[in-house]
Structures are given as structure tokens and as C-alpha cells.
Chains A and B, each alone.
Chain A
Amino acid sequence: SQQGEEDPQALSIQEGENATMNCSYKTSINNLQWYRQNSGRGLVHLILIRSNEREKHSGRLRVTLDTSKKSSSLLITASRAADTASYFCATLRETSGSRLTFGEGTQLTVNP
């Protein structure tokens, strides 16, 4: 079963707008990670946020984590056409060693 569920499944915005994607999960985690996948390519790691962290930034990316609600969000500010990709959250459970469980992703389209 999928640990993480992304919302929405698809998002279409205009260049310059902000994009927000959400992820919910079910069990206690050690950390939560966000990945990007361009069409036909491998996944690329974006940000890792640990269970004792609430917010993390990397360039135009901002990730929040609310362990009480078992949810996370990824905000991309001032989006660009090159941000068009699928975005996946992945959770590392406390009991799973180093195994990640991926959600099914959000397809983001940024229109020029």
C-alpha cells in the first residue's frame, strides 16, 4: 500500500505563479523526501526534511512538515516552464531501514 498520497494528481499553472503540492502519509516517519521526474528520466532528489524539522528551503523550493497531521507540502515559487515535471513525495518510516515508500506523484505543468 502507498504510504504517501499526493494532492492534487495534476496541476496546471502559468509561468510566474506559485505551485503547491501536498503529501499525506499514514505511519511515523524518520524523514520525508521530495523528488522530481522529468518525462522519460530518472528521479532527482529535491529536499529531505527530518521528522523533527518543520520547514526547509532550497532556492525556490519550500517544504513544510506537520507530523501531527502526517502531511507535507512542497511550494515552488515563481514557477518556470522548466519546472514542468512529476513531483513525488517519499517517506522513510521509522521501521523500514532505508527503504522509501513513494506516492503516485503530482504532474505539474507550467505554461509559458
Chain B
Amino acid sequence: DAGITQSPRYKITETGRQVTLMCHQTWSHSYMFWYRQDLGHGLRLIYYSAAADITDKGEVPDGYVVSRSKTENFPLTLESATRSQTSVYFCASSEIRAEQYFGPGTRLTVT
């Protein structure tokens, strides 16, 4: 199916555990992005990637790691989850300076 998908859709994990959120897009868009959405903060950029093997920090990168070995995949890893990382995470993709297409989101709870 064409589009952008995220998995899992819901995740509950414990403090200190490593968690990986997956993002896959079928458009071969150059750019991919990870955001978190929290009440009172809107959407904040965590990391983004301009192409395979090119990644850069966004506004709130601490505690997160990304990789992009293939154009279509952009996983986000929380190396040691903390309660402050409880949030809804959105992945998006786009061409250069164009509109972004968002995935359905992953709701992560860290207990």
C-alpha cells in the first residue's frame, strides 16, 4: 500500500528500556522527519533526514537516536526511555521544501 506507516501504533514500556519506533514510506521522498506532540507544546521536531545516511538534529533530540540506511525507512530509538518521553510520535516525509505527509502516529507511554 502506498503511503507512510508507523509501527507500533501503541506502546507501553518501562523506564530505562530501549524502544524503537518504525517509520516506512513508499513515495521515495528524500526527506523524513520525526516529531513529538505534547499538550501545550504543539509539534516539535526531534530528528530529520535529507537522504539515506544523512541525519540531523531537530529541536528536541536528547535521548533519541535515528538511522537511515534505506530511503524508505527512518527508525527512531529511545535508548533508555524516561517518563518525559511519554508522548505521541509522528513520522513524516516530503520532497524538498514541499508539503509533508504524516503517518498515523505512535502513542508511547513510559511507566
Residues of A whose CB lies within 8 Å of any CB of B are: 2, 30-31, 33, 35, 40-45, 48, 88, 90, 92, 97-105
Contacts and interface: CB of A to CB of B under 8 A. Distances in A.
B43 A48 contact: no
Nearest to A30: B97
B99 A99 contact: no
B87 to A, nearest CB: 14
Contacts of B94: 98
B105 A88 contact: no
B31 A98 contact: yes
A90 B33 CA distance: 14
- The interface residues of chain A, by DSSP majority, are classed as strand
A40 B88 CA distance: 9
Given A42-B90, A45-B100, A48-B99, A88 B43 contact: yes
B104 interface: yes
A41 to B, nearest CB: 7
Interface residues of B, number: 26
Contacts of A30: 97
Contact of A104 (B42, B95, B98, B99): B42
Contact of A98 (B44, B50, B103): B50
B105 A45 contact: no
26 contacts: A35-B102, A40-B105, A41-B104, A42-B102, A42-B104, A43-B43, A43-B90, A43-B100, A43-B102, A48-B99, A88-B43, A92-B97, A97-B97, A98-B31, A98-B48, A98-B94, A98-B95, A98-B96, A98-B98, A99-B33, A99-B45, A100-B45, A102-B35, A102-B42, A102-B43, A105-B42
B58 A99 contact: yes
Interface in B43-98: 43-45, 48, 50, 58, 90, 92, 94-98
